[in-house]
Amino acid sequence: MQNLSSNQKNPFVVSMISTKGGVTKSTNVANIGAFCADHGIRTLMIDTDIQPTLSSYYHISNQSLFGVYELFNRPDLPIEQIITQTEFENLDIIQSNDPRDRLTTELNGLPGGVLKFRELIKNIKGYDLIIIDTRGTRGITVDMTVLASDLVISPIKPELVSAREFVRGTINLYESLSIFTNYGISLPPLKAVINCLDHTRDAKDIVTNLYDIFSKLSDENPHIELINFEIPNRVAYREAASRALPVHRHSKIESENIRKLCSILFPQWSAQLENE
Ligand SMILES: Nc1ncnc2c1ncn2[C@@H]1O[C@H](COP(=O)(O)OP(=O)(O)OP(=O)(O)O)[C@@H](O)[C@H]1O
Ligand SMILES: [Mg+2]
């Protein structure tokens, strides 16, 4: 657990978003979070999905009784009490504990409910990075997360249906949130990342196609970018997950891939991320 009062600097807030399910959001939050934590970046993961994949991804060393539901509903609780520590140094989590999705109902009924997360996150100190996992469907918990973020990462699989869903879902999401820019809230840049890339001819053609689609998209939406790096489709990701390990601790090759990914996403920490 961090000494939460020792550092008053605001953490960099990142979220993993896709309006499509099963595109590797939770895996990426777990791997990016743990890689950063292993390089001295004090990291807090927040699981806002009702299916708590991320919450049980790593072994826990100090279990909180509370989670995301109390973050919203128990202002009397000090933040330290709702944070769970993983077995890894510098890596904590606020777990998902709202299987019946009460938060969605409550936030929808609250004027300005979509901005509440943004306010709550501002009170969390003592971390360098907050990385948030979301569910794979559109809803107020995804909207609130985008509005609370400094950067949005969106994994995209090399299939044309994924590209279409990205354009339909994520671009619509950004368009509908653009109303908030009238109130001084700027929307975060979005970096899409191709995931699970295999060596088939078909996948290569689709990647070329995706870069094309995104270069046109970026003309109209300058804050949207497809980064020039692809995460490969490798069994190491599943193996690491089933051993409750970050993939960089499980596979040397993937360690270098995650390093490259994190250096592109977080240029402010690139020197730190280079250390072994
Ligand atoms: N690079 C990879 N190569 C191969 N398999 C991967 C890779 N990354 C993740 N996976 C596997 O893909 C599956 C889906 O990943 P994950 O649960 O992270 O997706 P998700 O977007 O969080 O899904 P949901 O929308 O249900 O929350 C998992 O079985 C995971 O182990
Ligand atoms: Mg998930």
Render pLDDT for 58-112 as a digit per residue (tens, 0 to 9).
999 999 999 999 999 999 999 999 999 999 999 999 999 999 999 999 999 999 9
**The ligand 1 atom nearest the CA atom of 235:** 4
Confidence of residue 8 (pLDDT cuts 50, 70, 90): low
What is the CA(32)–ligand 1 centre distance, in A?
A: 14
Residues 6+ apart with CB under 8 A from 201: none
- Quote the pLDDT of residue 38: 98
Is residue 4 in contact with ligand 1, taking CB distance under 6 Å?
A: no
Q: List residues bridging with 46 in a β-sheet.
A: 94, 132
Q: Are the C-beta atoms of residues 264 and 256 closer than 8 Å to each other? A: no
Q: Which ligand is nearest to the CA of 155?
A: 1
Longest CA pairwise span in the chain (Å): 57
The stretch 164-190 carries a mean pLDDT of 91
Pocket test for ligand 1, best of 19, 20, 24, 51 (most atoms within 8 A of CB): 24
Is 238 near ligand 1, meaning CB less than 6 Å away?
yes
Indicate whether residue 198 lines ligand 1 (CB < 6 A). Answer: no
**What's the fold here for domain 12-274?**
Rossmann fold (3.40.50)
How far apart are the C-alpha atoms of 76 and 173, rounded to whole Å? 33
Mean pLDDT of the chain: 93
Q: In whole angstroms, what is the distance from residue 8 CA to residue 271 CA?
A: 23
Residue 137 Cβ < 6 Å to ligand 1? no
Instruction: Give the residue with greater pLDDT, 205 vs 54.
Output: 54
Helix (H, G, I), strand (E, B) or coil at 1: coil
Percent of the chain with pLDDT over 70: 97
pLDDT at 2: 45
**What are 183-207's pLDDT values in tens digits?**
999 999 999 999 999 988 888 899 9
**Selected residue with higher pLDDT from 169 and 93:** 93
Q: pTM to 2 decimals?
A: 0.96
Cα-to-centroid distance, 223 and ligand 2 (Å): 24
Mean pLDDT confidence for 175-185: 93
pLDDT digit string, tens, across residues 232-273: 999 999 999 999 999 999 999 999 999 999 999 999 999 999
Distance CA 141, CA 146 (A): 9
Is 25 near ligand 1, meaning CB less than 6 Å away?
yes
Q: Domain ranges in the chain?
A: 12-274
Q: How confident is the model over 156-184, as a mean pLDDT?
A: 88
26 CA → ligand 1 middle, Å? 7
Strands (E), the chain: 12-16, 43-47, 60-62, 84-86, 91-94, 129-133, 151-156, 190-197, 224-232
For the residues 118-126, what does the mean pLDDT come to?
94
Alpha carbons 23 and 162: distance in angstroms, whole number:
9
Task: Report how far ligand 2's centroid is from the alpha carbon of 62 (Å).
Answer: 23
What CA–CA distance (Å, rounded) separates 152 from 158? 19
DSSP SS3 for 220: helix
Whether residue 19 has pLDDT greater than 90: no
